[in-house]
Amino acid sequence: MAKSPALPGNPALSQWINECAELCKPDKIRWCNGSDAEYQSLLTLGKADGTLIPLSPKLRPNSYLHRSHPDDTARTEECTFVCTPTKDEAGPTNNWMEPQEAYAGLRKYFEGSMRGRTLYVVPFLMGPVGSAFSRVGIELTDSLYVAVNMRLMTRMGEPALRHLGQGADFTRCLHSTGEFDPKRRAICHFPQDNTIWSYGSGYGGNALLGKKCMALRVASYLGRQEGWMAEHMFVSELTSPDGVTMGFTGAFPSACGKTNSAMLRPAERFRSRGWKVSTLGDDIAWLRPSDAAGGGQLYAVNPENGFFGVLPGTSERTNPHAMQTFSRDSIFTNVALLPDGDVWWEGKTEQPPNQAFDWQGKPWTPDSGRKAAHPNSRFTAALANNPVLSPRCEDASGIPISFIVFGGRRSDTQPLVLESFDWTQGVYLGATLSSETTAAATGKVGVLRRDPMAMLPFCGYNMGQYLAHWLEMGKRLAKPPRIFHVNWFRAGADGKFLWPGYGENIRLYKWMMERCQGKAKAVETPLGWVPPAEAIDLEGSGVSVERFAQAVAVDKKAWLKEAEDHRVFFTRFGSDIPAELLEEHAKLLRRLA
Ligand code: OXD
Ligand code: MN
């Protein structure tokens, strides 16, 4: 059995790796240093064993296609566990397992699971180099696909080992794809041990353990202990023609447009005048209050170093900056392969190709009666590929956040945009966020579910206490960000979207910036402040004043029903639901009366 070379100066790390190697019994252990040369050599290995199919060097330079096991194409929430000594610590919205039982059960899976395979040791840093926000993880994995994706998604190798030094404060991430058998699959989080064990899946959210598992589930737990927050949010900067720049974040459930928002290219009318959005991240934000001397503001970093974005629906029209981001040096997962060596997915072009190989490699034509790409097909690309990346994404201090946007996918009821009355009511808007489910997780698509702060699948502890933590954080901020709620997906009586979305959303972000500056008009509704049509520049949007009014309308009857649903949802948390949120609910009922 292979043994890890001793790591000078870090016995805790060497010992842990050796314990895991003894359990999993790999043939070889390969340390990843994160260099370009190593990345190229891993790609060569991936080509040789069929993990990676090279794409046309002319059309997609240095890019590859990976086809997943057909039973392993999305996050599997039913196999995801938070393992805390008591069930109450995990709360009513997480699957729970007692830690000793979970370790013992998983040990049986991991025992000898890497025989004949290579164990990759992947040290990674989440967060900018030299930042107080940043944390180290070490992933031990038998998946080459994971190793190359982690190279694009994190600061891998040297920066992580330097940050760790001789310390033992790192997230211990053990991963094996096992047999890809959904019946032998478990993604277990041990927040108190700063440990994650994932077995039986190679899918991004289940296997790239720096992402959902560490940077959200474990980090949300650590954030509560240490007074910060780990959130399922994009982080961007908005710049106006007069040179004002504001940081903002947005929490939307998976596959509801975070990547499009993070990289938004403003509609021509605004772009030509100098409106600009720059990206820091598209999926995860780590947020900390600055001390009083720093103004008591909320600061954010993106802990990731790359994108793992959804492809269907992505096109030159909907997200030209994403199209540029993955034009080279990218990995595509479960898309269709074209005869010319390029890739395709539904929505990439208006006209489908005449022929292709579908995401499973089977010949496909538009008449095949099935999708060419998997609905949860993805691209992986480094942050640096993004043409509108903010130069501040490497700032150790993070960026100050002026406003937070919550959003869900609702065809009715929820107005296009509104602003909360204050932080507490904003937390209420986030806590009651609801959305129709998407293909990012296994299970039925299009079912309405409550998804507080878009964190339902990612909160590493009791969600009632998580909501209390949000309220607590607000009290520590002299200048809390304003909170908005959006719903790009509201439909009219004709079944069509009331708002065009994408680059046109700049019209609403402009209003949000102006609200923060105390400049824009708003009218009070029972739900919060809503823009009157005259506060939004609608010229060229194709949206009439009447249609806009429909998009922001509050239907009191529907909202009384909605509020009842909020009440029922809150009862799930028993006494853990903060009293302030119950008071907010009572106030909402009074405003609706
Ligand atoms: C993701 C997700 O992969 O939210 O970002 O599922
Ligand atoms: Mn996500």
Helices 144-153 and 36-49: crossing angle in degrees, nearest 10, is 150
Q: Are residues 312 and 270 in the same domain?
A: no
Q: Is 123 in the pocket of ligand 1 (CB under 6 A)?
A: no
In a domain, residue 4? The reply is no
Give dist(CA 152, CA 380) in Å, integer: 7
From 83, 188, 213, 256, the catalytic residue: 256
Q: What is the pLDDT along the chain (593 residues), one digit of tens a residue?
A: 566 555 567 999 999 999 999 999 999 999 999 999 999 999 999 999 999 999 999 999 999 999 999 999 999 999 999 999 999 999 999 999 999 999 999 999 999 999 999 999 999 999 999 999 999 999 999 999 999 999 999 999 999 999 999 999 999 999 999 999 999 999 999 999 999 999 999 999 999 999 999 999 999 999 999 999 999 999 999 999 999 999 999 999 988 889 999 999 999 999 999 999 999 999 999 999 997 666 689 999 999 999 999 999 999 999 999 999 999 999 999 999 999 999 999 999 999 999 999 999 999 999 999 999 999 999 999 999 999 999 999 999 999 999 999 999 999 999 999 999 999 999 999 999 999 888 888 888 888 999 999 999 999 999 999 999 999 999 999 999 999 999 999 999 999 999 999 999 999 999 999 999 999 999 999 999 999 999 999 999 999 999 999 999 999 999 999 999 999 999 999 999 999 999 999 999 999 99
- Angle, alpha carbons 417-421-424 (nearest 5°): 110
- Protein residue with least CA distance to atom 2, ligand 1: 254
In a domain, residue 528? The reply is yes
In a domain, residue 560? The reply is no
Q: Is 144 in the pocket of ligand 1 (CB under 6 A)?
A: no
Q: Are residues 194 and 109 in the same domain?
A: yes
Q: Where a domain ends, among 226, 252, 268?
A: 226
Strands 331-333 and 64-66: parallel
In a domain, residue 473? The reply is yes
In a domain, residue 566? The reply is no
Q: Where a domain ends, among 190, 211, 226?
A: 226
Q: Are residues 340 and 275 in the same domain?
A: no
Q: Are residues 380 and 501 in the same domain?
A: no
- Protein residue with least CA distance to atom 1, ligand 1: 254
328's tokens: 């080279």
* Residue from 80, 153, 283 to probe ligand 1 pocket by mutation (most atoms less than 8 Å from CB): 283
Segments forming the whole domain that contains residue 373: 307-385
59's tokens: 């059309």
Q: Are residues 85 and 169 in the same domain?
A: yes
- Angle, alpha carbons 535-538-542 (nearest 5°): 155
DSSP assignment of 104-135 equals: HHHHHHHTTTTTTSEEEEEEEEESSTT-TT-E
What is the Å distance from ligand 2's center to 493 Cα? 31
Give dist(CA 413, CA 435) in Å, integer: 11
Q: Where a domain ends, among 334, 350, 385?
A: 385
Q: Are residues 410 and 539 in the same domain?
A: yes
* The residue to which tokens 């296997």 are assigned: 207
Q: Is 265 in the pocket of ligand 1 (CB under 6 A)?
A: no
Q: Evaluate whether 26 touches 115 at the Cβ level (below 8 Å).
A: yes
Reduced to 3 states, what is the DSSP secondary structure of residue 393? helix
In a domain, residue 576? The reply is no
CATH number of the domain encompassing residue 136: 3.40.449.10
Instruction: Tell me how many domains the chain contains.
Output: 3
CATH number of the domain encompassing residue 322: 2.170.8.10
Bridge partners of 176, per DSSP, are 199
Q: Are residues 222 and 282 in the same domain?
A: no
> Which residues have C-beta within 8 Å of that of residue 518, sequence separation ≥ 6?
none
Ligand number with the minimum distance to the CA of 377: 1
Reduced to 3 states, what is the DSSP secondary structure of residue 538? coil
Q: Are residues 409 and 460 in the same domain?
A: yes
* The residue to which tokens 């509020």 are assigned: 563
Q: Are residues 78 and 39 in the same domain?
A: yes
Ligand number with the minimum distance to the CA of 310: 1
In a domain, residue 567? The reply is no
What is the Å distance from ligand 1's center to 255 Cα? 7
Q: Are residues 292 and 312 in the same domain?
A: no
Q: Are residues 43 and 124 in the same domain?
A: yes
CATH number of the domain encompassing residue 285: 3.90.228.20
Q: Are residues 98 and 206 in the same domain?
A: yes
Q: Is 301 in the pocket of ligand 1 (CB under 6 A)?
A: no
Q: What's the whole-model pTM score?
A: 0.97
What is the Å distance from ligand 1's center to 205 Cα? 6
Across the beta sheet with 306-310, the strand order is 53-54, 64-66, 331-333, 378-382, 306-310
In a 13 Å sphere around the CA of 579, the CA atoms on its Cβ side amount to 0
Ligand number with the minimum distance to the CA of 379: 1
In a domain, residue 578? The reply is no
256 catalytic residue (yes or no) = yes
Backbone angles phi, psi at 473, to 5 degrees: -60, -40
